[in-house]
Amino acid sequence: MVQDQEQSEISELEDAFGFSRVIQVISESQKLVVGHNMALDICHTLNQFCSPLPTQYSDFKEMCSSILPNIVDTKLMANTIPFKDEIYNTALKDLLTIVMEQPYQLPKITQKIGGVGYKVGDEKYHEAGYDAFITGLCFISMHRRLTKICGGKPRGVDAETPEIRPFLNKLYLMKVNDIPYMNLGGADIMPDRDHVFYLEIPKEWKTPDLVHLFLSFGFVNVFWLNDTSVFVALKEKGFSSSVIQALENNTSYTIITYEQYLKNMKADPTNAQEAGNNALGAGNSTLKPTSLYQSIGSSRSLHTDTRSPQTISGITPTLEKTFKDGVEGKDGRAVEKVERKDDRADEKVDGKKRAVSPAVNPGIKRSRSIVEDKTFAEPPWD
């Protein structure tokens, strides 16, 4: 009776492991784990079947490397030389279409049991099994192409295959212009961010207000941390040295360089800890604020805020521009409309007059920007 009870408990324990056993077998085999744009897939897999994700970025990288030591992301491959010169769209469906044609060679796959599994023509996109199937086909076709470019002959592929090494254990990062991948096997790329500025602004401001504020410096990208904290990155990096001098003397907002932002984060242990917990970082340092898309929660006091509450205005740069356009010769109806908005600027909030945000700096001549899809350096090839 006791023996039956113990056997039942052991059976229940084994059932509780579930899919974790599959992850364990994959880990022990050290075989390649191939995915397409797989950063989120890795996070969910580890969190669901292995252990809750750590709060520190360096611990997360160590966890990935120990459980899944050999990862290849086909999205990263397709966005990197030499493939990016031949692949115009790296979405999985389009990638499959491209690697089915010359100069690529798709392997012929037949179903071992009729009606079981998938065929290329099934087109069951976003069904997990089918997406995994065609991702594997894309990887094989891309490897064959790479082998041919390198002067080799088609052969099997594993973690030791020389052509694959530049892509090994690197996860593609979406919407990060200057960091192409998360490097699970080493230090991450540390990009130049001299063209990035950190601002603390009134909560009424929106993206168009920031675009207008930086109008003299060309096109910008705006990355929101919360409703009053943002990063602004210049497209035209040549203007970087002029920004602080032109924009710093204002009581409606505060602005510092990205370098100063990092120094302030390091100087404040609380901010550094929160940033390290949320950011995508570089290397194994305590502070990892390398992604402009990190969330720093409610921590915003990263430099001395000289604004007094009564000077924070609800009149944004865009609204102010509307007012100026109206008084400079728009039709009477437009003038009347903006005048009503300007009247609100003279109203008092809590007994204090609301200030108006600064106009765009006229001392800087704007040149035409060239918008680039990506601005990062390619990974080295051995």
Query: Which of 139, 162, 183 finishes a domain?
Result: 183
CA distance 284 to 324: 51
**With contact defined as beta carbons under 8 Å apart, do 50 and 23 qualify?**
yes
CA distance 147 to 228: 50
**Residue 212, φ and ψ in degrees, nearest 5:** -65, -40
> Could you tell me if 210 and 157 lie in one domain?
no
Tokens read off for 250: 């204002």
Question: Sign of the C-alpha dihedral, residues 76, 221, 246, 299?
Answer: negative
Could you read off the pLDDT of 38-67 as tens digits, one per residue?
Answer: 999 999 999 999 999 999 999 999 999 999
Return the minimum-mean-pLDDT range out of 127-141, 254-268, 286-300, 339-353.
286-300
Query: Which of 151, 183, 215 finishes a domain?
Result: 183
Place of tokens 């050999």: 70
DSSP one-letter string for 124-164: -TT-HHHHHHHHHHHHHHHHHHHHHHTT-------TT-GGG
- Going by DSSP bridges, is the β-strand pair 196-200/181-183 parallel, antiparallel, or unpaired? unpaired
C-alpha distances in Å from residue 262, one per residue of 243, 267, 268, 365: 18, 9, 10, 30
**With contact defined as beta carbons under 8 Å apart, do 164 and 156 qualify?**
no
**With contact defined as beta carbons under 8 Å apart, do 179 and 291 qualify?**
yes
Domain of residue 245, residue span: 196-353
In a domain, 24, yes or no: no
Residue 115 is part of a domain; what is its CATH number?
3.30.420.10
> Could you tell me if 318 and 293 lie in one domain?
yes
In a domain, 12, yes or no: no
**With contact defined as beta carbons under 8 Å apart, do 298 and 226 qualify?**
yes
In a domain, 188, yes or no: no
> Could you tell me if 39 and 82 lie in one domain?
yes
Q: Most distant CA pair in the chain: distance in Å?
A: 96
Query: Which of 183, 207, 232 finishes a domain?
Result: 183
The β-bridge partners of 230 are 199, 224
Distance of CA 320 to the CA centre of its chain: 33
Please provide the average confidence, as pLDDT, over all residues in the chain.
76
User: Residue 238, class by beta-carbon neighbours within 10 Å (0-12 exposed, 13-18 middle, 19+ buried)?
Assistant: exposed
In a domain, 375, yes or no: no
Band (pLDDT 50/70/90 cuts) for residue 278 is very low
CA distance 191 to 172: 16
> Could you tell me if 245 and 145 lie in one domain?
no
List CB contacts of 66: < 8 A, sequence separation 6 or more: none
CA distance 218 to 5: 74
Could you read off the pLDDT of 288-330 as tens digits, one per residue?
Answer: 333 333 333 333 334 434 444 434 444 555 555 554 555 444 4
> Could you tell me if 177 and 202 lie in one domain?
no
**With contact defined as beta carbons under 8 Å apart, do 168 and 159 qualify?**
yes
In a domain, 6, yes or no: no
How confident is the model over 16-36, as a mean pLDDT? 90
3-class secondary-structure state, position 197: strand
**In the predicted model, is pLDDT for residue 197 greater than 90?**
yes
Residue 205 is part of a domain; what is its CATH number?
3.30.70.330
Helix extents (H) in the chain: 2-17, 20-29, 39-49, 57-67, 74-78, 92-99, 128-149, 207-213, 240-247, 258-267, 269-278, 317-327, 332-345
Distance of CA 56 to the CA centre of its chain: 17
> Could you tell me if 311 and 266 lie in one domain?
yes
> Could you tell me if 152 and 252 lie in one domain?
no
Res 316: pLDDT: 56
**Residue 87, φ and ψ in degrees, nearest 5:** -105, 110
**When comparing pLDDT for 221 and 155, which is higher?**
221
**When comparing pLDDT for 44 and 345, which is higher?**
44
> Could you tell me if 179 and 228 lie in one domain?
no
> Could you tell me if 150 and 205 lie in one domain?
no
Band (pLDDT 50/70/90 cuts) for residue 220 is very high
> Could you tell me if 222 and 325 lie in one domain?
yes
Cα angle at 302 between 256 and 296, to 5 degrees?
110
> Could you tell me if 35 and 101 lie in one domain?
yes
The β-bridge partners of 172 are 181
In a domain, 219, yes or no: yes
- Percent of the residues in the chain that have a pLDDT greater than 70, as a whole number: 70
In a domain, 364, yes or no: no
Tokens read off for 270: 């609380």
**With contact defined as beta carbons under 8 Å apart, do 325 and 294 qualify?**
no
> Could you tell me if 255 and 314 lie in one domain?
yes
In a domain, 43, yes or no: yes
**With contact defined as beta carbons under 8 Å apart, do 313 and 285 qualify?**
no
Look at the chain and report how many structural domains it folds into: 2
CA distance 342 to 148: 67
Q: How many other C-beta atoms are found inside a 10 Å radius of the C-beta of residue 370?
A: 9
Question: Sign of the C-alpha dihedral, residues 366, 372, 376, 377?
Answer: negative
